[in-house]
Amino acid sequence: QVQLVESGGGSVQAGGSLRLSCAASGYTSSSYYCMGWFRQAPGMQREGVAGLYTRYDSTYYADSVKGRFTVSRDKASNTLYLQMNTLKPEDTAMYYCAAARPPCTVLADRGYNYWGQGTQVTVSS
For residue 29, what pLDDT band results from cuts at 50, 70 and 90?
Answer: low
For residue 35, what pLDDT band results from cuts at 50, 70 and 90?
Answer: very high
CA distance 56 to 54: 5
30 or 81, which is more confident? 81
Cβ atoms of 80 and 22 closer than 8 Å = yes
**112: buried, middle or exposed (CB in 10 Å: 19+, 13-18, 0-12)?**
buried
Average pLDDT over residues 58-86: 96
Among 3, 29, 16, 11, which residue's Cα sits nearest to residue 83?
Answer: 16
Mean pLDDT of the residues in the chain = 95
CA distance 59 to 63: 13
Among 100, 78, 102, 84, which residue's Cα sits nearest to residue 25?
Answer: 78
The answer to whether residue 13 scores a pLDDT higher than 70 is yes
